[in-house]
């Protein structure tokens, strides 16, 4: 419990900053919507001028773009990008931080098992993400009801919004795994930005290509909002894949960390 509290306290500042940024992003993007919907036809014409692959890559769908849910699924891509960076940051720093700040000796010579250390740290990371998600949900729900032009399906809206948490959990798990296998991470932000943008670009490519398989490579594409809007459900294979990635990364992280030699630095 003491490690959990300590870690949570260490994340306070970054959690606040990320949450505020995300909420600001939500307010900014969502407040554009009324302008879009008002001049819907003109925007459509304007956007038709973009080549199709470009529209696909940035997640634009002309048919649904002017409805609230359609617009939301477009901007949501960028909320999830922001959230992914936050989660990857936390994950990557979970254990690498002890090596970088050379505090591993302090923590590991205390009467606690390594599995307890990693559990507390992951839980603190998850807590930080959950707090961000709660604030995000409140902000996005409020903004949606404020800018809506028509009634929209709130269930579907929530289903899309909650995928932010899923994507974040995936990146948290990947980050944790990276922080265990890479012995010394000099800059967390470089590793996390690199990883997240790689997946993001793969996701863009997956959108432009007709090859469905590419979608499996990018967590950003696991929860397709068009599919959610149409079917009011998630795609089972991708849900299973997400669970597998999280499970595998976290278990591998545990196993390696428990057996790892902690060297002097």
Partner 1 sequence: MNVIEINNLTKMYGKARGIENVSFNVEQGEIFGFIGPNGAGKSTTIRTLLSLIYPTSGSAKIFGKDCIEFGPEIKKEIGYLPSEVFYYDNMKVKDLLKYSASFYGKDCSKRIKELAEIMQLDLNKKIDDLSLGNKKKVGIVQGLLHEPKLIILDEPTSGLDPLMQQKFFELLEEENRKGATILFSSHILTEVQRLCNRVAIIKDGKIITVEKISTLQENNYKKFKLLTSVTVDKEYFDMNGVSNLVLENNTVSFLFKGNVNPVMKKLADIEIQNIWVEEPDLEEIFMHYYEKEE
Binding region for partner 1 (CB under 8 A): 2, 6, 10, 101-106, 108-113, 116, 259, 261-264
Query: Can you tell me whether residue 186 is helix, strand or coil?
Result: coil
Q: Which CB atom, from 38 or from 116, has the smaller least distance to partner 1?
A: 116
Nearest by Cα to 251 from 240, 263, 259: 259
Task: Work out how close the CB of 262 gets to partner 1 at its nearest, in angstroms, rounded to a whole number.
Answer: 4
Place of tokens 């909650």: 162
Q: Which CB atom, from 15 or from 156, has the smaller least distance to partner 1?
A: 15
Nearest by Cα to 163 from 101, 81, 50: 81
Task: Work out how close the CB of 87 gets to partner 1 at its nearest, in angstroms, rounded to a whole number.
Answer: 22
Max CA pair span of the chain: 67
Which pair of structure tokens corresponds to residue 8?
Answer: 């949570």
Rounded Cα–Cα distance for residues 21 and 139 (Å): 12
- The set of residues, in sequence order, having a beta carbon less than 8 Å from that of 4 and lying 6+ positions away, is 120, 121, 123, 124
- Alpha carbons within 13 angstroms on the beta-carbon side of residue 65 total 22
Task: Work out how close the CB of 171 gets to partner 1 at its nearest, in angstroms, rounded to a whole number.
Answer: 25
Rounded Cα–Cα distance for residues 170 and 244 (Å): 10
Q: Which CB atom, from 47 or from 108, has the smaller least distance to partner 1?
A: 108
Task: Work out how close the CB of 8 gets to partner 1 at its nearest, in angstroms, rounded to a whole number.
Answer: 13
Task: Work out how close the CB of 107 gets to partner 1 at its nearest, in angstroms, rounded to a whole number.
Answer: 9
Which pair of structure tokens corresponds to residue 99?
Answer: 């090596």
Task: Work out how close the CB of 106 gets to partner 1 at its nearest, in angstroms, rounded to a whole number.
Answer: 6
Task: Work out how close the CB of 259 gets to partner 1 at its nearest, in angstroms, rounded to a whole number.
Answer: 7
Q: Which CB atom, from 134 or from 265, has the smaller least distance to partner 1?
A: 265
Q: Which CB atom, from 159 or from 262, has the smaller least distance to partner 1?
A: 262
Q: Which CB atom, from 1 or from 49, has the smaller least distance to partner 1?
A: 1
Q: Which CB atom, from 214 or from 262, has the smaller least distance to partner 1?
A: 262
Per the document, the length of the chain is: 265
Question: Counting beta carbons within 10 angstroms of the beta carbon of residue 210, is it exposed (0 to 12), middle (13 to 18) or buried (19 or more)?
Answer: exposed
DSSP assignment of 48-73 equals HTS-HHHHHHTT--TTTTTSHHHHHH
């Amino acid at each position: 419990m003491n490690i959990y509290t300590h870690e949570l306290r260490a994340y306070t500042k970054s959690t606040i900053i990320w949450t505020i940024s995300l909420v600001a992003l939500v307010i900014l993007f969502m407040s554009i919507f009324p302008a879009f919907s008002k001049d819907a036809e003109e925007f459509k014409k304007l956007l038709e001028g973009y080549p199709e692959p470009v529209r696909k890559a940035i997640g634009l769908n002309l048919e649904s773009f002017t409805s609230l849910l359609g617009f939301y699924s477009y901007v949501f891509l960028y909320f999830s990008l922001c959230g992914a960076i936050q989660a990857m940051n936390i994950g990557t720093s979970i254990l690498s931080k002890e090596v970088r700040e050379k505090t591993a000796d302090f923590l590991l010579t205390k009467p606690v098992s390594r599995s307890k250390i990693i559990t507390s740290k992951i839980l603190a990371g998850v807590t930080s993400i959950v707090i961000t998600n709660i604030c995000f949900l409140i902000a996005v729900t409020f903004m949606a009801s404020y800018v809506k032009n028509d009634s929209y399906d709130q269930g579907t809206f929530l289903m899309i919004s909650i995928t932010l948490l899923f994507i974040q959990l995936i990146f948290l798990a990947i980050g944790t795994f990276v922080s265990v296998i890479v012995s010394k991470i000099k800059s967390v932000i470089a590793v996390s930005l690199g990883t997240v943008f790689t997946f993001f670009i793969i996701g863009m490519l997956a959108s432009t290509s007709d090859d469905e398989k590419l979608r499996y490579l990018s967590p950003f594409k696991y929860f397709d909002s068009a599919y959610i809007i149409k079917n009011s459900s998630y795609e089972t294979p991708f849900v299973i894949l997400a669970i597998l990635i999280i499970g595998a990364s976290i278990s591998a992280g545990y196993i390696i960390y428990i057996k790892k030699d902690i060297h002097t630095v």
